[in-house]
Chain A
Amino acid sequence: MSKAKKIEDCAFAWCARRERPDWSASDQAELDAWLAESTEHRVAMLRMEYGWQRVDRLAALRASSLRQKVPIISQRLPDARGPWLSMAAGFLLVLGLGSLGLSQWMDGGTQRYVTVVGGHETVPLRDGSHVELNTDTRLRASVDEKARTVWLDKGEAYFEVAHDPKRPFVVYAGDRRVVVLGTHFLVRRDGDRIEVIVAEGRVRVEAVDAGKALKPAIITPGNMVVSESGSMLVASTSLEKVESELAWRRGYLVFDKTSLASVAEQFNRYNDKKVVINDPATSDTRISGSFEANNVDAFARLLQRAYGLSVTDDKEHLLIASPD
């Protein structure tokens, strides 16, 4: 067998092993060590993760049970039209459309939830807590008599935790653990970067690996934690900021003198049609206001009218440039 194939087998084995619910901090350390050995390992792992992630969308093919278990569709509609529309939605799913939002399935007692780009769903957990998943998010939850555990694999989620002192509620995001002391809070994960924002109550953020000499941080409303590769920063933030960070729950994006480059990044998290900025001069244009996250076309029109930028729409991209 060629060298590349052997490495590929290892990468596959790692991906499979990481799926198991008993994946621990020491497993992670072992994987990190393997990755650090060579670039060969690193690229093979990236490639396998990429493939694995695409296959993970299989869950979106799940049709019938989705409708019963997750009251996504009926919840939003007037009662009289509910049954008809949710039937229609069920039908669309049978055709294999993942864009409707959430998919979930069980895996050895662990419930898994996935939203696609543009998706936004609230799911109840067995203990009465609620998790609200933002766009392009993957998480796993395991709730039993002794513990309540959630792994945020990717994306962003808002938690409303039912009070239960006997069962701690713990959210794992990368190498950080958020221990809930009864509350409403947000966790966002983008690779190694983790942000935690509290809307109500208190949480404790700590390293998963107790060996790391990181002081746990306790955060309260108006505080946020930003953690990235080994460091953890507690910043105070205004309640308005918390409110605007949570605007996606209402389907909005809120910006306050934000650069066009990062505004585009935000929109691109929610839409398949991507905003592309063609010249650097415009990317620093400051944008303020609140926008519907899924209505990128309206945003483009505003750029055209209010900021005088040139917008070209080729159906898949919105190309933004300064006027000639």
Chain B
Amino acid sequence: MKDVRQVNEWFTREVLPLEPLLMRFFRRNWRSESDLADLRQELYVRIYEFGLKEIPLQTKPFVFMAARNLLINHVRRARIVSIEAMADLDAMNIAVDMVTPEREITARDELRQLQIGLNNLPPRCREVVTLRRIEGLSQREVAEKLSVGEDTVEKQMMYGMRALINFMLGGSGKIQRRPKGSRKNKAVGHE
């Protein structure tokens, strides 16, 4: 059994940065967008539990191999297996090899990306996040400045953080308001 801290560190440093690539892979090989969050979660659990026993030497090929196996299992579990799906899964070996190695992201790239994510937020939300996180005003100060209630500030702040986190993890960065009752207006992109 490995030291949990070591596994956490490995998971954060080597597995999580692969998420944008991984989601692209899932999206290409899985039809239903609404399953993606569950697939990712299941995969992460497997990878993490494997890591507790042994940290793989080469994380990236390991992650994509595990992703491929997971999809194959899901296809097998499905009652109707289309020939097409199996053929696609065979082709996935190649897809893994062709995934281009991403450049290490520097602090500067990251800030640039954050700036883009921030610009994508709706104006009110962006203003709140900017005042709170960048200008460093307190919740009350922001509420006074924009003449809105503190709970509005808090809500906008949470929406904004959530969308930015989504964006930094390779998602669309769109705000996800919880739809009442139906899931019709589900946001695009994974989270």
Contact = CB atoms under 8 A, between A and B. Distances in A.
A40 B45 contact: yes
Interface of B: 5, 8-9, 11-12, 16, 19, 34-35, 37-38, 40-42, 44-45, 48-49, 103-104, 106-108, 110-112, 114-115, 117-118, 129, 132-139, 158, 161-162, 164-166, 168-169, 183, 191
A272 B106 contact: yes
Contacts of A274: 104
Given A98-B108, A106-B136, A2 B37 contact: yes
B158 A16 contact: yes
B166 to A, nearest CB: 7
A4 B106 CA distance: 30
A117 B49 CA distance: 30
Contact of A59 (B38, B106, B133): B133
Interface in A42-79: 42-44, 46-52, 54-55, 57-62, 65
A269 B9 CA distance: 14
A61 B138 contact: no
Residue of A1, A7, A58 ringed by the most chain B CB atoms within 10 A? A58
Interface string A116-159: 11000000000000000000000000000000000000000000
Residue of A2, A42, A43, A193 ringed by the most chain B CB atoms within 10 A? A43
A4 B41 contact: yes
Residue of B5, B16, B42, B107 ringed by the most chain A CB atoms within 10 A? B107
A106 B166 contact: no
Residue of B11, B115, B129, B161 ringed by the most chain A CB atoms within 10 A? B161
Q: Is the interface of B mostly helix, strand, loop or mixed?
A: helix
B38 A4 contact: yes
Interface in A72-110: 96-99, 104-109
A1 B177 CA distance: 13
Interface residues of A, number: 49
Nearest to A273: B104
B107 A46 contact: no
Contacts of B162: 12
B44 to A, nearest CB: 4
Contacts of A47: 16, 19, 44, 169
B167 to A, nearest CB: 9
Given A54-B168, A58-B133, A191-B5, A43 B44 contact: yes
Contact of B138 (A12, A57, A108, A316): A108
A7 B106 contact: no
A37 B9 CA distance: 20
A39 B166 CA distance: 21
A141 to B, nearest CB: 13
A192 interface: yes
Nearest to A40: B45
Contacts of A5: 37, 191
A3 interface: yes
A191 B40 contact: no
B110 A54 contact: yes
Contacts of A104: 136
Nearest to A4: B41
B135 A105 contact: yes
A99 B108 CA distance: 7
